[in-house]
Amino acid sequence: MAPPTTNSTQVAEKPHLTILLAAPRGFCAGVDRAIQIVELALQKFGAPVYVRHEIVHNKFVVDELRAKGAVFVDELDEIPETDQPVIFSAHGVAKSVPAAAQARNMFYLDATCPLVTKVHREAERHHEAGHHILLIGHEGHPEVIGTMGQLPPGAVSLIETVADAEAFEAPPGQELAYATQTTLSVDDTAEVVAALKRRFPRIAGPHKQDICYATTNRQEAVGAIAQRADAMIVVGAPNSSNSQRLVEVGERAGCGTSMLVQRATDIPWERFDGISTLGISAGASAPEVLVQEIIDAFRGRFDVTLEEVEVAREQIAFNVPRQLRDVAAE
């Protein structure tokens, strides 16, 4: 009897990899609402729907909406005379923007996150009470531009770092109040606030912290998994503030490699040689489909075990503008 034939070409076993999946991750209620506003406006009014700036900071999301008929512009003067909707992004806008839209009789919808609007109202109240406002945030970020644009020039000073807080000279005889961008590092912001309170004990602050629940939850989740991981991937865009902060949280937790990745095609595989545990999270504007795409890419190279690490459960949802609620109810 002939011996059984053997296949001389043996498939090498994939190395084992445990992926720790942060929860919560990805879309927050404000981002979900903003995307819904564009999609519902397209459904109700047809294309084109104009959007000032990226509706959220994610190229994949923007490209998908563009394919459906959204037209993204930097400024309102790029929009021709039209009866079609004009949508303001989730990050919020200065008061001059809706004023310019009204001057042109534009039909506009505001997709500003309600938690950003809360910061706007707080800043206005402090200003009305005679306070000079210190805004803790990143210069040039759309949310910071929008918040500073709620008040007259000179009414708000931007504080980015502890050094800025130490160097700030208060206007003579004026009380101070502070507000913060919603997507900052919780730890960094606490240090800046502590410096301000030490220097200006009478400084007023928000009733509740301005850093939003989603930013806080995602940072806590990354902190929980980064301590156990050899490497950390945050799915998000380079211009996404909250995604960049998640990368920093991973680094501070002691993770040797903590990096931002937009898509599976962007993975620098040489950085993941020899790892046995990988943490994955996603910024608040990154869709879950991109997380799954990256997991699938690792499955192609590793024998993957998934473990979800949940630190909070989010059940918050925000209403869309009343002009779209009939379509949303369908």
Whole-angstrom distance, CA of residue 253 vs CA of residue 239:
23
104 with 142, same domain?
Answer: no
Model confidence over 89-107: pLDDT tens digits?
Answer: 999 999 999 999 999 999 9
The model's confidence at residue 330, banded by pLDDT at 50, 70 and 90, is confident
218 with 297, same domain?
Answer: yes
The CATH number of the domain where 147 resides is what?
3.40.1010.20
275 belongs to a structural domain = yes
300 with 223, same domain?
Answer: yes
Model confidence over 124-145: pLDDT tens digits?
Answer: 999 999 999 999 999 999 999 9
97 belongs to a structural domain = yes
Percent of the chain with pLDDT over 90: 94
328 belongs to a structural domain = no
Which residue of the set 39, 54, 122, 143 is catalytic?
Answer: 143
* Among 87, 112, 137, residue at a domain's last position: 112
Model confidence over 237-272: pLDDT tens digits?
Answer: 999 999 999 999 999 999 989 999 999 999 999 999
122 with 108, same domain?
Answer: no
317 belongs to a structural domain = no
104 with 90, same domain?
Answer: yes
88 with 153, same domain?
Answer: no
Model confidence over 15-34: pLDDT tens digits?
Answer: 999 999 999 999 999 999 99
Q: Which domain holds residue 106?
A: 29-112
The model's confidence at residue 10, banded by pLDDT at 50, 70 and 90, is low
Q: What is the DSSP string of 217-244?
A: HHHHHHHHHHTT-SEEEEE--TT-HHHH
Q: Residue 153's pLDDT is what? A: 96
pTM of the entire structure? 0.93
* DSSP class of 264: G
Domains contained in the chain, number: 3
The CATH number of the domain where 35 resides is what?
3.40.50.11270
What average pLDDT does the chain have? Answer: 95
The model's confidence at residue 3, banded by pLDDT at 50, 70 and 90, is low
54 belongs to the catalytic site = no
Confidence check: pLDDT of 195 > 80? yes
The model's confidence at residue 9, banded by pLDDT at 50, 70 and 90, is low
The model's confidence at residue 112, banded by pLDDT at 50, 70 and 90, is very high
